[in-house]
Amino acid sequence: MNADDDTRLFPARMAQRFVEKLRCRCPNKGIGCEAIIRVLDVEHHLGSECEWREEECDQCHQRVRRAQMGRHKDTTCARKPMACGFAGLGCETCCPQGDLAAHERDGVVAHVGLLMQRLAATSADLTRTREELAATRADLDQTKTDLAQTKTQLAGTSADLTRTREELAQTQHNLAEQTADLVGTKGQLDEVRARLDQFLTTPAVPEGLQASWDPTVAQTIISWQPATVPAARVVPAAACAAPQPAPVPVRYRVEAMRDGQSPAVVYTGPECRCTWAFPPDQVEARFVVVAVRGLVESEPSAPVSCTRPDIVFTYQHDMDEQGLFYYLGTQGRTQPWQNPAQAGWVTVTRSSESTGNVSDALGRQPCNNFTDNLPNSWYQVDLGAGRLFAPTRYTLRHSNGPSYAEARLQSWRLEGSLDGASWRTLDEHTNEPNSLPARPDAMATFTVAPAQAFPARHFRVLMTGTSPRGWHHLMLSGLEMYGTLIRQQQQ
């Protein structure tokens, strides 16, 4: 754009902005509109906003202000439909308001006829009313006769009332005697009610709940304050000579909660203290306590949590009761021993099936249990999801067949794995015929060097050479491990 174009363009923009700012009064100012609007909005104001603009009534075609159009149609419009003034007498004519006077003038004869019909109907109604009044007088005369008979009957009823009073006096005497009996019964009922109040009075929510791990007993100590009980109904001494009922004791129920499982009741009794042992696969629990008295119980207390620390299993002697698999088989030393592999708490597999049950590798009694005569035979234990174990020692026990003394291990590796696929060596022995004594059911405990130890979920005893007899049978009727069960719920 050159300079000449700018000269022509900018004055036009200035003029447009000047016009946009101009204001003026509404053209209907003379009839009352006080609006001040932009010049450019005059047409819009007159078309849709100005209430003083006159419009034509669509009924009578009279020009009326827009704001008064509704009132005009409801009141003064000559074409407004109006009912005839004789509609109450039966005239059904409805005509415009401006034509109503002409209708009433031209319809005088018809309106008089309607009036005469109404008068005739009224006369007939009066005749019927006179007849009904005559019948009413006859009814009144009959009523007087009935009242006279009723007076005679009331005289006889008075004598009956006298006899009734005498009977009531006797009844009152009998009631006095029964009342005395009821007083004694009420005292007995009050005693029963007081007893029921104790059964139905809700104790307060126990407070001060605490849960802490006690390493000396390897259990959780749970304690709380005694729950208060609202005062029950007192039997009045005058109502019943029987002694007050003995108070109903408060008992407590402790529940252990675990995500995704129903609460387990771990204690029920009157004491404000209990102990609880963690299951081997659980490292954290939340506890609540409920006070129970009679038939009602309180709301649960505020929950508290307790976390089990790492558990250390210390070796004392071969196949003692301090190892990992004994701990798992007794559910944290809280139940009688059960083979954890047979119970499904751990999984035992082996390279091939030959003699014995594979789960007997974790048994507490020696037995005949071994693989086929194949190189690189192995037994493997999966502790399950949520368990990691860092071993420091492990015990192996040979099968107890009388001819198997020379079939004992002399070359093997103890291996660990997090996933059951990648294995690392924890301990290794090669051509050591004296590692296990030369007798059936021989056993020995071996140490895992600290430099080799690491936490694992899967453990494997891998036979890396032949037995002194030259077999590849891996004979194993007992395995125990010592070390630390890591405190975690998921790997």
The CATH number linked to 48 is: 3.30.40.10
Q: What is the DSSP string of 123-151?
A: HHHHHHHHHHHHHHHHHHHHHHHHHHHHH
Which span out of 50-59, 107-116, 235-244, 418-427 was modeled with the highest average pLDDT? 418-427
Asked if residue 451 belongs to a domain, the reply is yes
- Evaluate whether 322 touches 482 at the Cβ level (below 8 Å): yes
- Evaluate whether 352 touches 371 at the Cβ level (below 8 Å): yes
Same domain (yes/no): 298, 340: no
Same domain (yes/no): 220, 301: yes
Same domain (yes/no): 320, 433: yes
Of 282, 331, 323, nearest to 305 (Cα)? 282
User: What distance in Å separates the CA atoms of residue 253 and residue 259, rounded to the nearest whole number?
Assistant: 19
Residue 3 scores a pLDDT above 60: no
Put simply, whether the predicted model's pTM sits higher than 0.85 gets the answer no
Predicted pLDDT of residue 212? 85
Residue 452 scores a pLDDT above 50: yes
Q: Which range marks the domain in which residue 421 is found? A: 311-485
Instruction: Give tens-digit pLDDT for 288-303.
Output: 999 888 778 888 988 9
Task: Tell the burial category of 189 from Cβ atoms under 10 Å away from its Cβ (0-12, 13-18, 19+).
Answer: middle
Predicted pLDDT of residue 240? 46
User: What distance in Å separates the CA atoms of residue 164 and residue 296, rounded to the nearest whole number?
Assistant: 53
The CATH number linked to 328 is: 2.60.120.260
- Evaluate whether 257 touches 284 at the Cβ level (below 8 Å): no
Count the domains in the chain.
3
- Evaluate whether 309 touches 488 at the Cβ level (below 8 Å): no
Asked if residue 89 belongs to a domain, the reply is no
Strands 424-429 and 311-313, bridge-based pairing: unpaired
SS3 string, 364-415, reads CCCCCCECCCCCCCEEEEECCCCCCEEEEEEEEECCCCCCCHHHCCCCEEEE
The mean per-residue pLDDT over the stretch 86-94 comes to: 75
Predicted pLDDT of residue 198? 63
- Evaluate whether 348 touches 337 at the Cβ level (below 8 Å): no
Residue 64 scores a pLDDT above 60: yes
The CATH number linked to 273 is: 2.60.40.10
Asked if residue 157 belongs to a domain, the reply is no
Percent of the residues in the chain that have a pLDDT greater than 70, as a whole number? 87
Predicted pLDDT of residue 7? 47
User: What distance in Å separates the CA atoms of residue 350 and residue 346, rounded to the nearest whole number?
Assistant: 14
Who has greater pLDDT, 102 or 421?
A: 421
What separation in angstroms does the CA of 418 have from each of 373, 384, 460?
28, 10, 12
Predicted pLDDT of residue 244? 60
Pick from 15-29, 292-306, 318-332, 406-420: least confident: 15-29
Same domain (yes/no): 241, 287: yes
- Beta-carbon count within 10 A of 402 CB: 7
Same domain (yes/no): 230, 333: no
Asked if residue 127 belongs to a domain, the reply is no
Asked if residue 414 belongs to a domain, the reply is yes
Of 417, 414, 484, nearest to 447 (Cα)? 414
Asked if residue 123 belongs to a domain, the reply is no
- Domain end marker among 307, 324, 341: 307
Predicted pLDDT of residue 464? 95
CA dihedral of 130, 136, 137, 138, whole degrees rounded to 10: 120
Predicted pLDDT of residue 47? 65
Of 398, 408, 426, 405, nearest to 472 (Cα)? 408
Widest Cα–Cα separation across the chain = 146
Instruction: Give tens-digit pLDDT for 195-251.
Output: 676 666 778 888 888 888 776 566 788 999 888 876 655 555 444 445 566 677 888
Tokens of residue 480, six digits: 């125990």
Residue 186 scores a pLDDT above 90: no
Who has greater pLDDT, 113 or 315?
A: 315
Long-range contacts of 254-258 (CB under 8 A, 24+ apart): 254/222, 254/287, 254/288, 254/289, 255/287, 255/288, 255/289, 255/290, 255/300, 256/285, 256/286, 256/287, 257/285, 257/286, 257/287, 257/288, 257/303, 258/282, 258/285, 258/286
Confidence of residue 24 (pLDDT cuts 50, 70, 90): confident
Instruction: Give tens-digit pLDDT for 358-416.
Output: 999 999 999 999 999 999 999 999 998 878 999 999 999 998 877 778 888 999 999 99
User: What distance in Å separates the CA atoms of residue 93 and residue 91, rounded to the nearest whole number?
Assistant: 6
* Whole-number average pLDDT of the chain: 83
Q: Tell me the CA end-to-end span of the chain in Å, nearest whole number.
A: 75
Same domain (yes/no): 295, 351: no
Residue 318 scores a pLDDT above 90: yes
Residue type at position 363: G
Same domain (yes/no): 369, 254: no
Residues 6 or more apart whose CB falls under 8 angstroms from that of 34 comprise 25, 26
Same domain (yes/no): 399, 422: yes
Same domain (yes/no): 321, 289: no
- Domain end marker among 57, 74, 91: 74
Same domain (yes/no): 456, 323: yes
Pick from 161-175, 230-244, 254-268, 323-337: least confident: 230-244
Percent of the residues in the chain that have a pLDDT greater than 90, as a whole number? 30
Same domain (yes/no): 283, 385: no
Residue for token digits 């299951």?
Answer: 279
Who has greater pLDDT, 89 or 326?
A: 326
Same domain (yes/no): 70, 36: yes
Predicted pLDDT of residue 238? 47
Asked if residue 67 belongs to a domain, the reply is yes
Instruction: Give tens-digit pLDDT for 413-446.
Output: 999 999 999 999 999 999 998 888 888 888 999 9
